[in-house]
């Protein structure tokens, strides 16, 4: 039966490959040996990939990817093509593909938990690292491995416990990840001066696995300390998967739907190609051979910005404020319109709407909407988020500034969390951060395996631009 299912999945993937023969597509490969562990598989893939990259550079090295204009340099480098990112590619119209697979395709082919239907984040991580769909056994192996690596050093627990409750959870998160650097295998190996560049990936892999494994414990501890009077009664259960353990540590493990939500949430927030702030920052800092802890902590600091990951807390704040301002009156399309205009006229952004790359509704929004339609169709907040979806884009279009009037991932995540009782908005970006670790750390392993150099783009001053182009 297992092999039949594997054959079915493979033929499904083959179809995906022929349907989407685009630039955005990276072929998903056949299953690796059924019981092979992730590191062993990676060991086999690295020489192949190095050879592939060598050939690509030899054949296309002098091709032009795109032009850079002065406007682009002043405009946040939007659209400048200058990064390599293996795990995912973002298409403005279609949205994200993880190693060539859309989110619905991932939902179809990636292994789910026994009795569940959402992909397990472990399987997504395997896909991001190898480009292959893992077997259930391989996913179970990864769950067990992460559980075994999950314990936090005592001093990190104490460090988190010492944080004032008023310190934002994202700052606590970043602090804890930085402190874990104490045990970095990469940093220690580098210090010995005996490790060859070709082997840097090995300790980067070990650090990344340790770090990912510990993220639920960090997130759970922060949540319990800040919002639940420091109850630490739950521990990682080696028999459970990553999402279920995270749900347990937050205190929601008894809610089956919440556990499924965690699995989906952790899968879809993981990776969004290389140019977004958290991904690019992790990659940039990593290029200085800072270890995975320092690199990811830097990425988390970027994720904590309101134009990036923090938007998920801002969305719920914005909606809550709208309800408060209405003072219990019914929310109609007109009241939403007035509120959106009020936000725009006061010079603020409408959180959860717009995107630097996307020009359509974010598929990460759509799949969360599907989840809500399946599990919480009558939730009043979900209904309100849906109503805003029907009203806000037209106003943003009329306002005429944003290039994309459609909702992004952050417009929907808070409503799902709050429906199950996770109502503490300041915590939401931490969950985004746990998931983002899967994407950016899988890439960091490849950065090291491919010997990616120090990143150092050229900058100019305004005086230099004038000197270059002003008519003499
Ligand atoms: N509300 C109001 N104005 C918006 C807007 C929004 N939701 N989205 C964009 N704009 C404005 C921009 O601020 C910009 O105005 P200025 O010219 O005055 O600076 C103008 O429209 C053009 O912006 P753009 O090219 O369409 O978008 P950017 O690539 O500059 O910015 C983003 C993208 C996401 C920062 C922006 O859409 C935004 O601020 N959205 C709200 C915050 C948000 O939801 N962020 C989360 C994004 C997803 C994620 O990373 O997690």
Q: How does pLDDT run across 387-435, given as a tens digit for each residue?
A: 999 999 999 999 999 999 999 999 999 999 999 999 999 999 999 999 9
Site to probe by mutation for ligand 1, drawn from 348, 354, 358 as the one with most ligand atoms within 8 Å of Cβ, is 354
CB within 8 A of 366, min separation 6: which ones? 103
Residue of the CA atom closest to atom 12 of ligand 1: 402
Above 90 in pLDDT, residue 262? yes
Residue 29 has phi, psi (to 5 degrees) of: -90, 170
What tens digit of pLDDT does each residue of 279-290 get?
Answer: 999 999 999 999
Q: Indicate the pLDDT class of residue 209, thresholds 50, 70 and 90.
A: very high
Give the active site residue among 272, 410, 412, 447.
Answer: 410
Atom number, ligand 1, closest to the C-alpha of residue 411: 44
Average pLDDT, the chain: 93
Average pLDDT over residues 234-249: 97
Atom number, ligand 1, closest to the C-alpha of residue 78: 29
Above 70 in pLDDT, residue 82? yes
Above 80 in pLDDT, residue 35? no
Q: What is the dihedral of CA 284, 287, 293, 297, to 10 degrees?
A: -10
Token pair 């915590």 in the structure block, residue: 427
Ligand 1 cavity residues, CB under 6 Å: 78, 276, 307-309, 311, 344, 349-356, 401-404, 408-410
Percent of the chain whose predicted confidence (pLDDT) is above 70: 93
Encoded tokens for 191: 């210090």
Above 90 in pLDDT, residue 351? yes
182 classed as catalytic = no
Residue of the CA atom closest to atom 13 of ligand 1: 349
269 classed as catalytic = no
Above 60 in pLDDT, residue 133? yes
Above 70 in pLDDT, residue 12? no
Residue of the CA atom closest to atom 27 of ligand 1: 356
C-alpha of residue 318 to centroid of ligand 1, in Å? 16
Rounded distance, CA 4 to CA 15, Å? 17
Above 70 in pLDDT, residue 19? no
Residue of the CA atom closest to atom 48 of ligand 1: 308
Q: What is the dihedral of CA 251, 253, 258, 259, to 10 degrees?
A: 130
Give the active site residue among 283, 355, 362, 447.
Answer: 355
308 classed as catalytic = yes
Question: pTM, whole model, 2 decimals?
Answer: 0.94
C-alpha of residue 354 to centroid of ligand 1, in Å? 5
Above 80 in pLDDT, residue 160? yes
C-alpha of residue 379 to centroid of ligand 1, in Å? 28
Task: Name the least confident of 159-163, 230-234, 316-320.
Answer: 230-234
Percent of the chain whose predicted confidence (pLDDT) is above 90: 89
Give the active site residue among 168, 272, 283, 308.
Answer: 308
C-alpha of residue 310 to centroid of ligand 1, in Å? 13
Contacts by 77-82 with C-beta closer than 8 Å and gap 24+?
A: 78/356, 82/457
Task: Name the least confident of 34-43, 206-215, 305-314, 423-432.
Answer: 34-43
Atom number, ligand 1, closest to the C-alpha of residue 401: 21
* Neighbouring-strand partners of residue 407: 353
């Amino acid at each position: 039966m297992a092999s039949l299912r594997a054959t079915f999945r493979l033929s499904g993937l083959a179809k995906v490959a022929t349907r989407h023969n685009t630039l955005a597509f990276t072929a998903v490969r056949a299953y690796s040996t059924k019981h092979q562990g992730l590191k062993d598989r990676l060991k086999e893939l690295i020489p192949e990939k190095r050879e592939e990259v060598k050939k690509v550079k030899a054949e296309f090295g002098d091709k032009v990817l795109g032009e850079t204009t002065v406007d682009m340099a002043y405009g946040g480098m939007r659209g400048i093509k200058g990064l390599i990112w293996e795990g995912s590619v973002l298409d403005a119209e279609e949205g994200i593909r993880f190693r060539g697979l859309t989110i619905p395709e991932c939902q179809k082919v990636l292994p789910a938990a026994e009795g569940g239907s959402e992909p397990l984040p472990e399987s997504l991580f395997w896909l991001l690292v190898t480009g292959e769909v893992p077997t259930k056994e391989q996913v179970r192996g990864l769950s067990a491995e992460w559980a075994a690596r999950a314990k936090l050093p005592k001093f990190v627990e104490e460090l988190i416990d010492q944080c004032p409750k008023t310190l934002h959870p994202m700052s606590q998160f970043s602090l804890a990840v930085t402190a874990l650097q104490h045990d970095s295998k990469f940093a220690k190996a580098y210090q010995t001066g005996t490790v060859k560049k070709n082997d840097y990936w090995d300790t980067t892999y070990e650090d990344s696995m340790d770090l990912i494994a510990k993220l639920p414990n960090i997130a759970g501890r922060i949540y319990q300390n800040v919002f639940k009077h420091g109850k630490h009664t739950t521990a990682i259960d080696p028999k459970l998967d990553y999402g279920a353990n995270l749900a347990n540590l937050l205190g929601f493990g008894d809610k089956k739907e919440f556990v499924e939500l965690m699995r989906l949430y952790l899968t879809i927030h993981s990776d969004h190609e290389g140019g977004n702030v958290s991904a690019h920052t992790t990659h940039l800092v990593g290029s200085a051979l800072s270890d995975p802890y320092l690199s990811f902590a830097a990425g988390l600091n970027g994720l904590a910005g309101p134009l990036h990951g923090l938007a998920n807390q801002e969305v719920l704040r914005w909606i809550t404020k709208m309800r408060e301002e209405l003072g219990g009156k019914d929310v109609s399309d007109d009241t939403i319109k007035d509120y959106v205009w009020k936000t725009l006229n006061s010079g603020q952004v409408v959180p959860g709407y717009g995107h630097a790359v996307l020009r359509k509704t974010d598929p990460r929004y759509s799949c969360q909407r599907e989840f809500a339609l399946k599990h919480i169709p009558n939730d009043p907040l979900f209904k309100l988020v849906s109503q805003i979806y029907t009203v806000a884009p037209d106003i943003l279009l009329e306002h005429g500034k944003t290039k994309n009037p459609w909702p992004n991932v952050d417009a929907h995540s808070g409503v799902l969390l709050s429906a199950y009782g996770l109502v503490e908005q300041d915590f939401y970006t931490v969950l985004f951060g746990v998931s983002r670790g899967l994407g950016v750390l899988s890439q960091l392993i490849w950065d090291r395996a491919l010997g990616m150099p120090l990143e150092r783009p050229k900058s100019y001053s305004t005086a230099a631009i004038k000197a270059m182009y002003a008519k003499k």
